[in-house]
């Protein structure tokens, strides 16, 4: 198919920029909003990459305006550029306030809503800038060596807490100054790599004075300590909080290194006194992840998320609240068998709002800290990912579904009614025909009920027969909710003429802790039976061609593909695995976060007395290669230090040596995900080329 103007590039300099920026804009294309034209109403990879990616919504202090960012992708430029927008809280008077070749991030209101602060790399490294709410009078106010990755102002805005990387450990050149060009790394302990990088720097948080329009170099609140704050690989400013009086900072930290770090998830919440620099651990003895502290508006309480068990990264995320005057801790969601995420305090200091996934839909709940009462605010086949306090009786929330990317909504607290405000992707969505998304409860082999999403092709005709693809979720503990993805987009798979079956098999949150915990130590067990129950149930329908079934997934989903390839009893005609685990014994010694391997795999494979571990490793996909009989495609990124690319290469080599049709897509410059636009388009084209070859 041909498309007109897949990604429009804005021309010329913007009047919003300062003189130095104008010169840059005149020579550098600005990536703007897409003007894609959709042919025949069908989603394609090019159309998918034309959506604006909305995030980071901020309500002004007087609750009258909304600030947010949108990322625009240019496939031609192979990059994403993020711009800022402001609109009234009712969605009116929407304005784009930046138009530059450098992304603007971490934007927040300041000075009572008369200014906006944000991060920009315009001057060469990420620094804090300010501007008026209409985008005028841009001014750089920080000049921190090496740049910063996030910031948050104190309530009176006289101080700022910013995040920057500091050196970790010794370099080879430190040991041998006469070998400055030596590239070897000398390693003495674990956690030398993490997710997608060699650990040579770690984030620290600094407190700095704000003097006029200048931010001075700050004081490291972990001066001399070799610990991450916030924590790698995903932590940001949500792991830091100011007390309303501006005298205390709460921060998240796991004060461990090396082997001790690699086997433990035990992080804590610390209170740092800015005046005395004294630090107090308020979660000592709480052994799992304790993260994301948040002070109540009156400063009397602090809330945070807490997991119970050390080493279990997918444990139930509990909501805790501490009375700072007495030190009393309360487990608020004790009688609520689901996760508490994205918490915010209500203005009454007696309640909070949180996001929680229940039965594969993620909604907003109100929680009362004294009675522990929990009430659902929203409902429907959607996922809410954040919310913020707005005017009287309202929240401003970000919502998506399998059929729509992120948009901003106003939510009436009394009845949960949601009104869309942003309409960022309205023009594209109006051109598309989306397939029906159906929730189906399927009986499992052990007589339980499992929710599976079935996504039908657009313009579905029940009198025809369609090929079907089983989607295997990664994580492994990651719900198949109403998610919107730019790689595993189920609507786009369906638009290519497939019925998609996406089960919430054992080991996924949102169905209670028992359902979630079952998978640990049972890789290749009940959850695999759940997959087969789902595809078997749907393939019995008259409109499914049961002779043309495919199977795909990434990470643990990729493991699932490899395992099913040797245990599917000829159900499937083609497999596609991305970043999957092929050999569990190799994975145990190749991965970095050993707490994950110890908990989910049951421990080391050499512990012959550990029955759980021995059962797990006996179920490794590589042990069933002798039963492989079906074409399989593998993709992997060579910068993936979570699941090394050697896992994918082993699987591909095994298939070729067995004489099975196989293909491999390897990315030298991608990690566990596929971040670069052209690589993403390549992935989608090869994905459908492979399945079309064997299922159509």
Q: Is 672 a catalytic residue?
A: yes
Looking at every residue in the chain, the average pLDDT score rounds to: 95
DSSP annotation of 435? P
pLDDT score for 19: 36
Cα–Cα distance measured from residue 53 to residue 35, given in angstroms and rounded to the nearest whole number: 15
Lowest mean pLDDT among 2-6, 95-99, 379-383, 488-492: 2-6
Cα–Cα distance measured from residue 306 to residue 522, given in angstroms and rounded to the nearest whole number: 25
Cα–Cα distance measured from residue 633 to residue 635, given in angstroms and rounded to the nearest whole number: 7
Cα–Cα distance measured from residue 200 to residue 170, given in angstroms and rounded to the nearest whole number: 8
Computed over its alpha carbons, how large is the radius of gyration of the chain? 25
pLDDT score for 115: 98
Other C-beta atoms within 10 Å of 362: how many? 24
Cα–Cα distance measured from residue 345 to residue 297, given in angstroms and rounded to the nearest whole number: 7
662-667 and 632-637 beta bridge pairing: parallel
pLDDT band for position 32 (50/70/90)? Answer: confident
In contact, 576 and 691? CB cutoff 8 Å: yes
- Tens digits of residue pLDDT in 148-162: 999 999 999 999 999
Q: What is the mean pLDDT of residues 588-616?
A: 96
Helix (H/G/I), strand (E/B), else coil: 295: strand
pLDDT score for 391: 86
In contact, 408 and 396? CB cutoff 8 Å: yes
pLDDT band for position 27 (50/70/90)? Answer: low
pLDDT at 436 over 50: yes
* 216 exposure class (CB count in 10 Å sphere: 0-12, 13-18, 19+): middle
Q: Is 264 a catalytic residue?
A: no
pLDDT at 70 over 50: yes
What is the 3-state secondary structure of 512-564? CHHHHHCCCCCCCCHHHHHHHHHHHHHHCCCCEEEEEEEEEEECHHHHHHHHH
Q: Is 205 a catalytic residue?
A: no
Cα–Cα distance measured from residue 206 to residue 223, given in angstroms and rounded to the nearest whole number: 9
- Identified catalytic residue from 290, 522, 600, 640: 640
- Identified catalytic residue from 555, 560, 620, 635: 555
Q: What percent of the chain has pLDDT over 90?
A: 94
DSSP 470-515: EEEP-TTT----S---SSS-HHHHHHTT-EEEEE--TT-SSS-HHH
pLDDT score for 29: 75
- Identified catalytic residue from 204, 578, 622, 672: 672
Query: Residue for token digits 């198919």?
Result: 1
pLDDT band for position 28 (50/70/90)? Answer: low
Give the residue from 688, 673, 686 showing the smallest Cα distance to 233. 673
Domains of the chain, earliest start first = 1-141 (2.40.128), 435-695 (3.40.50.1820)
Which residues are registered as beta bridge partners of 387? 397
Cα–Cα distance measured from residue 417 to residue 138, given in angstroms and rounded to the nearest whole number: 38
pLDDT at 20 over 90: no
Q: What is the mean pLDDT of residues 265-288?
A: 97
Other C-beta atoms within 10 Å of 411: how many? 23
């Amino acid at each position: 198919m041909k498309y007109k103007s897949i990604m429009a590039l804005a021309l010329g300099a913007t009047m919003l920029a300062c003189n130095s920026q104008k010169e840059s804009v005149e020579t550098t294309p600005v990536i703007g909003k897409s003007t894609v034209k959709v042919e025949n109403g069908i989603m394609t990879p090019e159309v998918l990459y034309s959506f604006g990616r909305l995030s980071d919504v901020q309500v002004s202090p007087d609750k009258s305006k909304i600030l947010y960012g949108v990322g625009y992708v240019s496939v031609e430029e192979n990059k994403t550029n993020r711009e800022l927008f402001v609109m009234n809280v009712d969605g009116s008077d929407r304005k784009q306030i930046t138009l530059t070749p450098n992304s603007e991030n971490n934007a927040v209101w300041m000075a009572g809503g008369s200014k906006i602060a944000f991060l920009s790399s315009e001057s060469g490294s990420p620094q804090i800038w300010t501007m008026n709410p209409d985008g005028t009078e841009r001014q750089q106010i920080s000049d921190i060596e090496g740049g910063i990755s996030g910031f948050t102002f104190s309530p009176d805005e006289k101080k700022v807490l910013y995040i920057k990387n500091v050196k970790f450990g010794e370099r080879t050149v430190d040991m041998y100054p006469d070998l400055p060009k030596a590239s070897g790394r000398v390693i003495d302990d674990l956690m030398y790599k993490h997710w997608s990088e060699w650990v040579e720097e770690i984030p620290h948080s600094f407190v700095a004075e704000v003097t006029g329009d200048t931010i001075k170099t700050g004081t490291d609140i972990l001066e001399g300590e070799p610990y991450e704050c916030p924590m790698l690989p995903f932590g940001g400013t949500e792991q830091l909080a100011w007390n309303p009086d501006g005298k205390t900072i709460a921060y998240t930290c796991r004060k461990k290194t090396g082997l001790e770090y690699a086997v433990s998830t035990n992080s804590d919440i610390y209170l740092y006194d800015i005046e005395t620099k004294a630090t107090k651990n308020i979660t000592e003895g709480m052994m799992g992840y304790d993260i994301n502290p948040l002070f109540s508006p009156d400063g009397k309480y602090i809330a945070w998320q807490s997991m119970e068990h050390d080493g279990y990264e997918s444990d139930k995320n509990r909501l805790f609240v501490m009375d700072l005057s007495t030190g009393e801790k309360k487990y608020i969601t004790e009688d609520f068998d689901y996760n508490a995420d994205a918490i915010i305090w209500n203005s009454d200091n007696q309640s909070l709002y949180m996001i929680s996934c229940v039965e594969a839909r993620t909604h907003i709940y109100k929680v009362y800290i004294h009675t522990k009462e929990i009430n659902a605010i929203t409902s429907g086949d959607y996922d809410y990912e954040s919310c913020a306090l707005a005017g009287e009786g309202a929240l401003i929330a970000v919502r998506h579904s399998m059929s729509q990317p992120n948009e901003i909504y106003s939510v009436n607290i009394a009845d949960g009614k949601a009104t869309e405000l942003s309409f960022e992707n309205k023009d594209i969505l109006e051109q598309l025909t989306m397939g029906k998304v159906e929730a189906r409860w399927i009986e499992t082999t052990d007589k339980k009920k499992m929710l599976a999403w079935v996504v039908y092709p657009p313009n579905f005709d029940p009198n025809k027969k369609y090929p079907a693809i089983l989607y295997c979720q990664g994580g492994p503990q990651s719900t198949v909710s109403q998610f919107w993805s730019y790689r595993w987009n189920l609507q786009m798979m369906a638009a290519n003429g497939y019925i998609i079956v996406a089960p919430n098999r054992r080991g996924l949150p949102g169905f209670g802790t028992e359902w979630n915990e079952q998978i640990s130590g049972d890789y290749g067990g009940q959850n695999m039976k759940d997959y087969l129950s789902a595809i078997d149930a749907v393939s019995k329908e008259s409109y499914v061609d049961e002779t043309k079934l495919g199977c795909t997934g990434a990470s643990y989903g990729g493991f699932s593909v490899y395992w099913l390839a040797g245990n599917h009893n000829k159900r499937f005609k083609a497999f596609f695995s991305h970043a999957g685990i092929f050999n569990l014994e190799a994975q145990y010694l190749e991965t970095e976060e050993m707490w994950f391997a110890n908990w989910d795999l049951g421990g080391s494979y050499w512990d012959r007395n550990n029955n759980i571990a021995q059962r797990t490793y006996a179920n490794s996909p590589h042990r069933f290669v002798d039963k492989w009989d079906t074409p399989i495609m593998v993709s992997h990124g060579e910068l993936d230090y979570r699941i090394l690319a050697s896992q994918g290469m082993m699987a591909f080599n095994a298939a070729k040596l067995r004489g099975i049709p196989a293909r491999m897509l390897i990315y030298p410059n991608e990690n566990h995900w596929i971040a670069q636009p052209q690589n993403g388009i390549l992935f989608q084209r090869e994905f459908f080329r492979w399945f079309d070859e064997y299922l159509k």
